[in-house]
């Protein structure tokens, strides 16, 4: 029952070295087994002890030895060699793992890439050359397989940077019972037929351009927001704190345009009229209709400092009596005449007749 229970891993490295491993701790707990092998096909086989053991926590878990022929027999025994625990016969050629491809070359023709390598010395018909590639925009590798030892692919964009890697594979089940492939050859980077150190050189300028554009957009957006806030602040300031006009230059045009002619300046200056209307307050006046006898009596009552001034055409109406206007004005005792009107003025009032 040991032969069916024990599982081993067998690898023939390029038909040069054999490696056979087993799960020592699970299969043989607490026992350090021994290993022996032979490529001899005669009746009286000569068994050879393992030259190099592979260890798992100080337990023998595998053996590494040179490949000497196509037919191999192995035996696992107890530590003292008295009891055989496992034995097996196999074809070493069915467990070959090829070496990496050598002297890999790339040939570019417009959008077509052809990859080739040196042919191995043995079993070329059992080998396939696998090419994998991807651009900076691809998340997964694209694969192409062809006979050893050349493979070509079309559709490459000369504006993109591509990563390439190649390896050799053994055909299953015609040549191998296990699907073994070589390790990947060193990854290379190409752009339009030019070998690069990495595709980061192609990505960097684009990243810098994107960063500069983003910064410019951010600055423009901030300037736009600042201008909007500034306009709104000016409107708010005008509504809350209206500007006060500066009267310093209000009378400049009186002398520059009208040569000091006050009457002409008032007639032609709108804001002066508005200013006069706002500041002028009409004094309280009492209008009475009196007879000539009343006028004579009033004139007799005036004091020595009071005088009467007559204004011609002061009241033109249909009333037979003259219009007498009495206005209270805060003026001093002065006498004035204007356009034929008679003015009687006292300390705190004057009478226009």
Other C-beta atoms closer than 10 Å to the C-beta of 70 total 14
| SS3 state at 69 | coil
Cα separation, 105 vs 112, in Å, equals 14
The reported pLDDT for the residue numbered 248 is 54
**Dist. CA 330–CA 320, nearest whole Å:** 31
Interior CA angle at 230 toward 224 and 231, to 5°? 95
Instruction: In whole angstroms, give the CA distance from residue 280 to residue 282.
Output: 6
What is the rounded distance in angstroms from the CA atom of residue 190 to the CA atom of residue 160?
9
Instruction: Name the percent of the chain lying above pLDDT 90.
Output: 28
Work out the burial of residue 212: count CB atoms within 10 Å of its CB; fewer than 13 is exposed, 13-18 middle, 19 or more buried: exposed
d(CA 306, CA 327): 15
Taking the C-alpha atoms of residue 11 and residue 256, their distance in angstroms, rounded to an integer, is 113
Task: Give the chain's mean pLDDT.
Answer: 75
Tens-place pLDDT, residues 69-103: 999 999 998 887 778 888 889 999 999 999 999 99
Element (H, E) at 203: helix 200-240
Per-residue model confidence as pLDDT tens digits over 331-348: 444 444 444 444 444 444
- Domains 8-97 and 105-196 agree in fold: yes
**Would strands 96-97 and 8-13 be described as parallel, antiparallel, or unpaired?**
parallel
Phi, psi of 234 (to 5 degrees): -65, -40
Q: Are 172 and 128 in contact (CB under 8 A)?
A: no
Alpha carbons 35 and 76: distance in angstroms, whole number: 5
CA angle 239, 242, 247 (to 5 degrees): 165
Give the CATH architecture of domain 8-97: Sandwich (2.60)
For residue 267, is pLDDT > 80?
A: no
Q: 2: how many CB neighbours lie within 10 A of its CB? A: 11
pLDDT at 254 over 50: yes
Domain 105-196 class, CATH top level = mainly beta
3-class secondary-structure state, position 130: strand
The domain ranges of the chain are 8-97, 105-196
Higher model confidence: residue 25 or residue 333?
A: 25
Residue 302 has pLDDT above 60, yes or no: no
Q: pLDDT-based confidence at 352, cuts 50/70/90?
A: very low
């Amino acid at each position: 029952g040991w032969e069916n229970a024990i599982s081993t891993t067998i690898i023939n490295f390029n038909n040069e070295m054999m490696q056979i491993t087993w799960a020592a701790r699970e299969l043989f707990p607490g026992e350090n087994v021994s290993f022996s092998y032979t490529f001899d096909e005669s009746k009286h086989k000569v068994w050879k002890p393992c030259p190099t053991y592979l260890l798992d926590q100080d337990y023998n878990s595998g053996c590494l030895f040179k490949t000497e022929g196509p037919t191999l027999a192995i035996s696992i025994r107890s530590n003292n060699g008295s009891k055989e625990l496992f034995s097996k016969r196999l074809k070493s050629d069915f467990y070959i793992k090829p070496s990496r491809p050598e002297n890999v070359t790339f040939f570019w023709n417009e959008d077509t890439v052809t990859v080739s390598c040196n042919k191995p010395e043995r079993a070329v018909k059992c080998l396939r050359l696998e090419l994998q590639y991807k651009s900076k925009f691809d998340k997964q590798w694209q694969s192409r397989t062809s006979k050893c030892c050349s493979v070509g692919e079309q559709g490459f964009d000369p504006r993109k940077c591509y990563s390439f890697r190649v390896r050799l594979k053994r055909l299953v089940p015609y040549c191998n019972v296990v699907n073994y492939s070589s390790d990947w050859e060193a990854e290379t980077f190409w752009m339009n037929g030019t070998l690069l150190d990495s595709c980061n050189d192609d990505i960097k300028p684009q990243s810098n351009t994107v960063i500069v554009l983003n910064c410019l957009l951010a600055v423009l957006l901030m300037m736009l927001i600042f201008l909007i806030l500034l306009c709104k602040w000016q409107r708010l300031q005008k509504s809350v704190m209206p500007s006060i006009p500066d009267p310093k230059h209000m009378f400049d045009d009186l002398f520059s345009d009208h040569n000091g002619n006050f009457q002409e300046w008032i007639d032609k200056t709108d804001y002066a009229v508005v200013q006069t209307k706002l500041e002028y307050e009409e004094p309280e006046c009492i209008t009475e209709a009196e007879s000539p006898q009343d006028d004579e009596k009033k004139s007799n009552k005036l004091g020595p400092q009071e005088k009467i001034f007559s204004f011609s055409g002061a009241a033109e109406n249909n009333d037979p009596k003259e219009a007498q206007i009495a206005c209270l004005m805060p003026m001093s005792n002065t006498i004035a005449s204007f356009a034929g009107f008679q003015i009687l003025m006292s300390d705190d009032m004057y009478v226009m007749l």
